[in-house]
Chains A and B, each alone.
Chain A
Amino acid sequence: MTVDMSQFYEVFFDEAEELLAEAEHLLLEIDVQAPDIEQLNAIFRAAHSIKGGAATFGFMDMAEITHVLENLLDKLRKQEMALTTEHVDAFLAAKDVIKMQLDGHRHGATVNAEQVGDVSMMLKALSEGRGVEIPVDPLLAQSAPEPEVLQVAEQKPAMSLTDAEKSSGIRLYDVKLPTVTERDLTNLKDELALLGEVVVYQRQDQSHALMIKSDSSADDIVSICSFIVDTDLLVVSEAGTSAATETPSTEAKPTETQPAAASPVTAAAAPAEDLGYGFFDDDPIIAAATPAAAIAENATPNPTPTKEGKAAVDIVEEVGYGIFGRDGQEQTEEGYGFFAPFKPHPDAPKAQMIGDETPVSAAPAAVAVEASTTPVVAAQKPAVKETSAKKEPEKAAVQSTESSSIRVGVEKVDQLINLVGELVITQAMIEQRMNALDPVEHESLINSVTQLTRNTRDLQESVMSIRMMPMDFVFSRFPRMVRDLATKLGKKVEFVTIGAATELDKSLIERIVDPLTHLVRNSVDHGIEKPEQRRAMGKAEAGTLTLSASHKGGSIVIEVTDDGGGLNRDKILAKAASSGMSVSESMSDAEVYNLIFAPGFSTAEVVTDVSGRGVGMDVVKRNISAMGGNIDIRSALGYGTTISISLPLTLAILDGMSVSLGKSVYVVPLNLIMETLQPRAEDLKTVTGEGLMVHVRGEYLPIIALHALFNHPTHVTNPTDGVLLILEADGRKSALFVDRLVGQQQVVIKSLETNFKRIPGVSGATIMGDGSVALILDVPAIIQMGQTTNYVTGAQTFANQNFSTQPYTNA
């Protein structure tokens, strides 16, 4: 029975690509200091699976590198070696190389042999980092890609033909070449390698010559050479017509180019006179790929057998398999075995299956020959192609630097982002439907969808990145401003920026400039004290103003920090009270600091009174909120203030928690949810003037019942039957009471305001995986609504109450 393996190639390629992508993803996530063993195991499994598949399907170059990779990963996961960043870098490089090899096999893409060799060496070096020797898998060692430097034998190699080869029409040719460049020689060798085995050697007059073993005619060889060299100068002679005599060459000595012939090898030396040249007594002899040589090598322990001989030997071992003996002893016989007392099935055919194609009497030697020719040729081909193709990528790299950017209208990019948003939704729909399917029956479909998911995510990221600009664009304008301002005010300020390379959506960058300018100006003006004042307080004369940007989860955090006087809580409270705001001594610091964002707070008088902020902070706050961001103040009196702005990375996509209320689903922005809980009855307290509160971690938080707020029918009216989401926005916390949690997902924000009136408590809408529309809650507004509408609790309480907000019905 023959199975055409090529039908599984595509499956293997897909699978390997998927595994590589997964491995890369894991590698990028891994914490080098404290690697998660499960992650290492998963990466190991990926390498292991690729190796297994590659070896099975005959992609030996991939199998070889994954084998080295697997060995190293095995040591790491068994904690025999500590993970370092070099490992991760090497693994990522290996991933690229394997992908390149894969593309080479799949699409005939060029493979940079140099890169393969580098990575392979790097992995081996890392593997041996602690002097641990890598066990070389004999099966894989045979396929070591040929070094891409053209190997030129210094002397005429001894090649001969076996009787079997002769009878099948294979002839040995000696091709004397005119003077050629090394590149031409390489090309020539590659081309001729398609006909058969080729060895390049240098003649005594320094010109080059080739030995070819092929069943093609001399004319064929000449016509191939004609592409590269002038055929008039070419001399092709048939060399191996007379019988090769088997001469045990005990005098064989290694030369630099042929260490392979180092050990005693039984090889068939071609008679010198037939070839038209002579041998020296100490000629190195390459073992020809004859069964005799193979067997002889098998018998003689040979640390560095020739390529051909080695291959043959290994195949013998590989084909060898075994059965456990009845007495419990293992008898390895052809790569598999049974544990005693297992008895072969009585129906089992007596003759071995291998016998179908090979006479049983032919014994392992014949099997070895049959098997050795195919894989070796397969393994050589990619290596040969590499040499001729390797220079092309370099050229491409040079060209690509010429035009580094193009200008595109923002509306085009926006349209792209919109379309990607739609794609994300469609993809989520498909994924949701996949979950119901049997993983085996629909495996290929599931794999394709997984790939689609990944591609969609990558596409989304790339499209989003088009709009991204580094924060440096904003930060770079401040040093000058700070210096000028400090000079004018007679202050000393050291300005520091951190994370200027952090990227942010272009539209956000443009809109953050004004609020940030305001905050920096305020810090210099009111935050940092005059030098004499600082000295009196024991601080350095020069204040430090730090502007930083960093990624935190799905958002970007921009902070303006000064080591100035800090905010004075008492003064803020007093000022707020005097301007008619409702304040109480029991307010938390965060709530007090938030008062400075109140519109009525910003008067010139306050600015001088309060040691700090006040001018236009309400404008700053409004701008940030309009960008979907939050602003927070942390301050310590006498030590300084940090104003922290957190912005979504992009305006189009939101990480949300979907919650259900009656038959509808709402989406709550995930970054505003502190925690979710199911309250116990004893945690619920009714407080006069505050309504129903829940006791969470020592705090009493007001409960806002969403069904009551939106006047939305539901049967869950007691908080103990539903779920509370602890939300925090603008420094205030509230517990939002909903029926239950549905799940976490990325949603694409769709504006409602283009078609509908703005609804308090709703910031937008999205389309869910099942195609239904869900409203996205405006958390700050809901917390605000919860507080301004006295208290919001159960439906009963609300039945007769008039909302200051418009009741909303989910149409």
Chain B
Amino acid sequence: MTKTILTVDDSGSLRQMVAFSLKAAGYDVIQAVDGQDGLNKAKEKTVDLVLTDQNMPIMDGLTLIGNLRNLASYQKVPILMLTTESSDEMKAKGKAAGANGWLVKPFDPKRLIEVVQKVIGA
């Protein structure tokens, strides 16, 4: 079955790049423009993987992750942070919020697919 990935980023260019790459690799992609939009869309359909930016208006990535983890349907869904901040502090915060991992921006589409395949399979 085709896996669905929710990608949340306020930057349209990055989000489209991510979506395009994921679609090219055979995944279904749902896009959201900020944490709140992401949360709404995550509630509509339980996805197989969430990729979220951290720094966004309205609701940031960490808050989104926390909110998702409060939903029964998102207890076991892997969540990755796509972040430009790779500091230990940020990692600790992400981990505490309930993220499963991180991917440092900027990344190259190949690496994204590689990471995604590691997490949810091809």
State the A residues within 8 Å of B (CB): 1-3, 5, 7-8, 11-12, 15, 42, 44-45, 48-49, 51-53, 55-57, 139, 319, 321, 323-324, 330, 334-339, 342, 344-349, 352-354, 356, 439-440, 443-444, 447
Contact = CB atoms under 8 A, between A and B. Distances in A.
Contacts of B100: 338-339, 342
Contacts of A321: 103-104, 111, 115
Interface of B: 10-14, 16-17, 20-21, 24-25, 31-33, 37, 55-57, 78, 80, 84, 86, 88, 91, 94-95, 99-107, 109-111, 113-115, 117-122
B101 A49 contact: no
A-B CB proximity, top 6 nearest: A347-B121, A353-B114, A338-B101, A56-B106, A336-B103, A12-B13
A664 B37 CA distance: 36
B105 A56 contact: yes
Given A3-B24, A12-B13, A55 B105 contact: yes
Contacts of A440: 31-33, 37
A336 B108 CA distance: 12
A354 B118 CA distance: 13
Contacts of B21: 1, 3
A353 B111 CA distance: 7
Contacts of A1: 21, 24-25, 109-110, 113
A333 to B, nearest CB: 10
B23 to A, nearest CB: 10
A497 to B, nearest CB: 45
A352 B12 contact: no
A1 to B, nearest CB: 6
Contacts of B84: 48, 51-52, 55
Nearest to B55: A48
B11 to A, nearest CB: 5
Contacts of A44: 55
B101 A45 contact: no
B118 A348 contact: yes
A448 to B, nearest CB: 12
Nearest to A330: B91
A348 B117 contact: yes
Instruction: Give the most central of B13, B86, B106: most A CB within 10 Å.
Output: B13
Nearest to B49: A345
B24 A336 contact: no
Given A52-B14, A57-B13, A443-B33, A335 B107 contact: yes
A330 B101 CA distance: 10
Given A349-B117, A353-B111, A440-B31, A335 B12 contact: no
A138 to B, nearest CB: 11
B107 to A, nearest CB: 6
Given A330-B91, A354-B114, A324 B101 contact: yes
A11 B13 contact: yes
Contacts of B99: 339
Contact of B12 (A51, A57, A443): A443
Contacts of A339: 91, 94-95, 99-101
Contacts of A335: 86, 103-104, 107, 111
A15 B11 contact: yes
A336 B13 contact: no
Contacts of A444: 12
Contact of B111 (A12, A336, A338): A336
Contacts of B107: 56, 335-336
A580 to B, nearest CB: 64
A466 B61 CA distance: 46
B111 A52 contact: no
Nearest to A38: B57
B102 A336 contact: yes
Given A48-B84, A330-B88, 18 more contacts: A1-B25, A3-B17, A3-B110, A5-B109, A7-B20, A11-B12, A11-B13, A15-B12, A52-B14, A55-B105, A330-B91, A336-B104, A337-B102, A345-B119, A348-B122, A353-B117, A354-B110, A440-B32
A52 B9 CA distance: 11
Contacts of B16: 8, 11
B14 A53 contact: yes
A49 B10 contact: yes
Contact of A353 (B14, B95, B110): B110
B103 A349 contact: no
Nearest to A441: B31
B109 to A, nearest CB: 4
A227 to B, nearest CB: 37
A349 to B, nearest CB: 6
Instruction: Give the most central of B11, B32, B105: most A CB within 10 Å.
Output: B11
Contacts of B105: 52, 55-56
A338 B12 contact: no
Instruction: Give the most central of B31, B101, B117: most A CB within 10 Å.
Output: B101
24 contacts: A1-B24, A1-B25, A1-B113, A2-B109, A3-B17, A3-B21, A8-B13, A11-B12, A48-B84, A49-B10, A56-B105, A335-B104, A336-B104, A337-B91, A338-B118, A338-B119, A339-B91, A339-B95, A345-B117, A352-B114, A354-B114, A356-B110, A439-B33, A439-B37
Contacts of B113: 1, 353
A344 B119 contact: yes
Instruction: Give the most central of A57, A139, A348: most B CB within 10 Å.
Output: A348
A334 B103 CA distance: 9
A57 B13 CA distance: 9
A339 B92 CA distance: 9
Nearest to B19: A440
A487 B80 CA distance: 82
B111 A334 contact: yes
Contacts of A439: 33, 37
A53 B13 contact: yes
Contacts of B106: 52, 55-56, 139
Nearest to A11: B13
Contacts of A324: 101
A323 B20 CA distance: 25
A335 B106 CA distance: 9
A346 B120 CA distance: 8
Contacts of A336: 80, 101-104, 107, 111, 115
Contacts of A347: 117, 120-122
